[in-house]
Copies of this chain bind each other. A is one copy, B any other.
Amino acid sequence: MFEFTAQRRVTYGETDKMGYLYYGHYAEYYETGRVEAFRSIGLVYKELEETGIIMPVLELHCNYHKPAFYDDMLSIRTMLPKYPDGVKLYFEYEIRNQEGTLLNTGNSTLIFFNVANRKPVPAAEIMGEKLAPFFT
């Protein structure tokens, strides 16, 4: 399995009138988790996009266990449970606060897509070499 943990602090603008991190913002925290997980193995999503590969999200699932509050420093654990064998990429997420309490779990499925020919690209073609060491 490949995994990486990133940090992100809950801002005032992200809270709602319950005082919670608004439920719609977790997708952004997953984005941060994913992008920083990629960066940790030398894959900079920005550079990937400059080569004409985009990565739209196909599916998102979030489970809200406990609220996150203003100024909480959240740990976003991003996991790639299995080596990608097709065009889809499946990520799992766990978000904890600074006390280590599990607040949110989720997953998302993305696809690598070649803008030029409008066709999906096998994930292994993009990131196989970087990922291989984690799945031996």
Contact = CB atoms under 8 A, between A and B. Distances in A.
Contact of A17 (B32, B58, B59, B70): B70
A11 B24 CA distance: 12
A57 B46 contact: no
The count of identical subunits is 4
Interface residues of A, number: 36
A31 to B, nearest CB: 6
A22 B12 contact: yes
A83 to B, nearest CB: 24
A59 B107 CA distance: 12
A57 B61 contact: no
Interface of A: 11-13, 15-20, 22-28, 31-32, 35, 44-46, 49, 54, 56-64, 67, 70-71
30 contacts: A11-B28, A11-B31, A11-B32, A11-B35, A12-B31, A13-B16, A13-B24, A13-B27, A15-B16, A17-B18, A18-B54, A20-B56, A23-B27, A23-B56, A23-B57, A24-B24, A24-B27, A24-B28, A44-B71, A45-B71, A46-B71, A49-B70, A58-B63, A58-B64, A59-B61, A59-B62, A59-B63, A59-B64, A60-B61, A61-B62
